[in-house]
Amino acid sequence: MKKIEDIIIQGIRDALSGTLNIVVEDKFLALQKTKKEFEGSLTLVVFPFVKQAKMAPEKLANILGEVLVDSVEEIDSFNVVKGFLNLVISAAYWKNALEYISDTEQYGFSKPNSKPHCMVEYSSPNTNKPLHLGHLRNNFLGYSVSEIRKANGHEVTKVQIINDRGIHICKSMQAWISSGLEETPESTGMKGDKLVGKYYVEFDKQYKKEIAELIGEGQDKGEAERNASSIEAARELLVKWESKDPEVYALWEKMNQWVYDGFEKTYDDMGVDFDRIYYESETYLLGKSVVMDGLASGVFEQEDDGSIWIDLTAEGLDKKILLRSDGTAVYMTQDIGTAIKRFEEFPSLKELVYIVGNEQDYHFRVLFLILKKLGYVWASDCYHLSYGMVDLPEGKMKSREGTVVDADDLMLQMSETAKEITEELGKLEGMEESEKNELYRMIGMGALKYYLLKVDPKKRLLFNPNESIDFNGNTGPFIQYTYARMQSLMSRYGKAIPNVSHDAGCNSSELALIELLYDFPEIISNASDGYSPALLANYLFSLAKTFNSFYQSSNIMKETDGDIQGNRMVLVQVTAGVIKRGMKLLGVGVPDRM
């Protein structure tokens, strides 16, 4: 189906070159949506070429309008306000559009795997702590960005990297050992990640205590932090781990496994998945060897103490360490190795997207620059989707102050809230208990995911745990509710949805809905190119709102004209389809009733 914008632009171009005998640059020939308070669907701003036309804006707009109405079949009428030419598109065109939408399978989506292969890295947790609210935003974003890109035709590989080695996990190990309790998830009934996290907290407590004691004995802060016996023990574990001391390695494997088991449950609850998992312990050695190669080729330089650096001062950045003097790897080392490994493993890869918080902006600038300097041409295909931190009303989440919002707790709480609200409304008569529970989860998770996804990823996000999350207004449940209403209409209608009738008239609320549905493909494309589930979320909200308005103003079941009723049912069906598939891209399910 030919896009109305293209038809009109062509018409305008013809009118300009014909009647007015001027040629206008393409960039000025952009149509915009007509503002609500004016009549029409699309608007041309004529200011940019009044000079060329040597005419007052209004006169020019009127002339163009008249020519367009005559020459372009799809334009019914026009009106001019100052230099704005508002065009009214014929109902016939919109009915054709509706028919096209209704007849098009997977309307709005592009052919699978028709666009470049893209890898999306998200989640990327450390293995010493359970997942929290920040991870939720990360995971929901990563999943949704991936699904949106798929819908837009990209081949997508979802990956995560697990920071499974390093001093952090050694801290948990050290606290576990020194407790002497031999606690396991089985013996305590705790989720594995929670148990390991508990020991991380305990380590920190003990460590702080020792520091205070050492300071009391007259050491300065830096000394005390270095000399505390627990950190020395943890450091020793790390050294032993690197030399693959069997006992330490076994404990490391055991405790990491506990964490993985715990994470798996959390990922399952989140509804996210991965095609490939990378472990830092598997990639840091490659990183190290690449750094050594870079040293040999002169990209990097070595200090007297043996540490290896890159000097980026010429690029306006600083010097960055790539390998410690004792030869051990830093974060950057393994990230270099991991990126290379990925492009080797997937030769078709055309893009690597990192979903990582904006606190690491600098890290990724440096990483991409290093890869470029090392001569990897794909360095420019790497993109850091830098999302804003999730803040609480009192500021950052701080584990020390116990303000970290745990992912498992929050998800559970959302389902419970959904249950309370649903029971209060009491609309689930006759539904099975298990079905109800599934619904509560769907609504609770819908609220949570939508809440975290509706904001532009790049912006910081404020989360107020007390006010929690709304179920009214611009929310997931609002959209789910609208969908449930549509399902109710479909079952009430009780017969097959007919084809679009071209004879039936269209009221304004129907037209508004068709026009929005018409935008869906462009929204998918924009959300994909801009890595922004928020664009899709806000679109779905306005679609739901527009539907509700239509629902309220145009009674369907009571409509006596069969053609009109049929067209309305087509609208219901098509809107439901767009909402369902759109929400799925956000990772949110929609219920048949609620």
Partner RNA sequence: GGGCGCGUAGCUCAGCUGGAUAGAGCACCUCCCUUCUAAGGAGGCGGUCCUAGGUUCGAAUCCUAGCGCGCUCACCA
531-570 positions binding RNA, by CB under 7 A: 534-535, 538, 541, 545, 548-549, 551-558
- Supply φ then ψ for residue 364, to 5 degrees: -75, -30
What is the tally of helices (H) and strands (E) in the chain?
A: 20, 14
Using the rule CB under 7 A, is 307 a contact of RNA?
yes
Using the rule CB under 7 A, is 398 a contact of RNA?
no
79 forms beta bridges with 86
Using the rule CB under 7 A, is 474 a contact of RNA?
yes
Give the count of alpha carbons within 13 A of 384, CB side only.
19
Using the rule CB under 7 A, is 324 a contact of RNA?
yes
Of 180 and 494, CB closest to RNA:
494
Among 7, 24, 69, 81, binds RNA (CB under 7 A): 81
* Token representation of residue 377: 């041409």
| Contact indicator for 81, 61 with CB cutoff of 8 Å | no
Using the rule CB under 7 A, is 292 a contact of RNA?
no
Residues 6+ apart with CB under 8 A from 317: 362, 365, 366, 369
- 44's enclosing H/E stretch is strand 42-45
The nearest distance, CB 105 to RNA, in angstroms, is 26
Of 1 and 557, CB closest to RNA:
557
- For the chain, the straight-line distance linking the first and the last C-alpha, in angstroms and rounded, comes to 36
The nearest distance, CB 328 to RNA, in angstroms, is 7
Of 438 and 470, CB closest to RNA:
470
Q: Does residue 316 come out as left (phi exceeding 0), alpha (psi in the -120 to 50 range) or beta? A: left
Which of 289, 312, 315, 287 lies closest to 301, judged by CA?
A: 312
Using the rule CB under 7 A, is 227 a contact of RNA?
no
Site for RNA in 352-381 (CB under 7 A): 358-363
Using the rule CB under 7 A, is 461 a contact of RNA?
yes
The nearest distance, CB 473 to RNA, in angstroms, is 2
Using the rule CB under 7 A, is 471 a contact of RNA?
yes
Q: Does residue 336 come out as left (phi exceeding 0), alpha (psi in the -120 to 50 range) or beta? A: alpha
- Considering CB under 7 A, how many residues would be counted as binding RNA? 90
The nearest distance, CB 93 to RNA, in angstroms, is 19
Query: Position 204: which residue type?
Result: D
* Token representation of residue 327: 């030869």
Binding mask 35-74 for RNA (x = CB under 7 A): xxxx----x-x-xx--------------------------
Using the rule CB under 7 A, is 427 a contact of RNA?
yes
The nearest distance, CB 281 to RNA, in angstroms, is 11
The nearest distance, CB 160 to RNA, in angstroms, is 13
DSSP 310-368: EE-GGGT--EEEEE-TTS-B-HHHHHHHHHHHHHHH-TTEEEEEEEEEGGGHHHHHHHH
Among 64, 418, 536, 564, binds RNA (CB under 7 A): 418
Using the rule CB under 7 A, is 594 a contact of RNA?
yes
Among 12, 16, 336, 455, binds RNA (CB under 7 A): 455
Q: How wide is the angle at C-alpha 167 spanned by C-alphas 174 and 389, nearest 5°?
A: 120
Among 21, 472, 494, 496, binds RNA (CB under 7 A): 472
Among 2, 59, 460, 502, binds RNA (CB under 7 A): 460
Using the rule CB under 7 A, is 458 a contact of RNA?
yes
Using the rule CB under 7 A, is 228 a contact of RNA?
no
Among 69, 389, 392, 511, binds RNA (CB under 7 A): 389
Where are any strands of DSSP class E within 364-466? 382-387, 390-391, 461-462
Q: List Cα–Cα distances, 12 to 44, 82, 240, 266, 486, in angstroms.
A: 9, 18, 74, 55, 39
Among 24, 52, 76, 83, binds RNA (CB under 7 A): 83
The burial class, CB within 10 Å (0-12 / 13-18 / 19+), for 424 is exposed
Q: Which residue has the tokens 């505390």?
A: 228
Of 36 and 54, CB closest to RNA:
36
Site for RNA in 94-133 (CB under 7 A): 126
Of 349 and 583, CB closest to RNA:
583
Using the rule CB under 7 A, is 403 a contact of RNA?
no
Site for RNA in 146-205 (CB under 7 A): 163, 166-168
Of 349 and 556, CB closest to RNA:
556
Among 296, 314, 377, 425, binds RNA (CB under 7 A): 425
| Contact indicator for 482, 548 with CB cutoff of 8 Å | yes
Residues 6+ apart with CB under 8 A from 207: 171, 228, 230, 231
The nearest distance, CB 198 to RNA, in angstroms, is 19
Using the rule CB under 7 A, is 456 a contact of RNA?
yes
d(CA 92, CA 313): 63
Among 65, 477, 533, 582, binds RNA (CB under 7 A): 477
d(CA 119, CA 279): 16
Of 32 and 289, CB closest to RNA:
32
**Which one of the spans 29-37, 97-105, 184-192, 577-585 is the region binding RNA (CB under 7 A)?**
29-37
d(CA 439, CA 126): 32
Of 155 and 368, CB closest to RNA:
368
The nearest distance, CB 186 to RNA, in angstroms, is 28
Question: CB neighbours (10 Å) of residue 83?
Answer: 16
Of 112 and 562, CB closest to RNA:
562
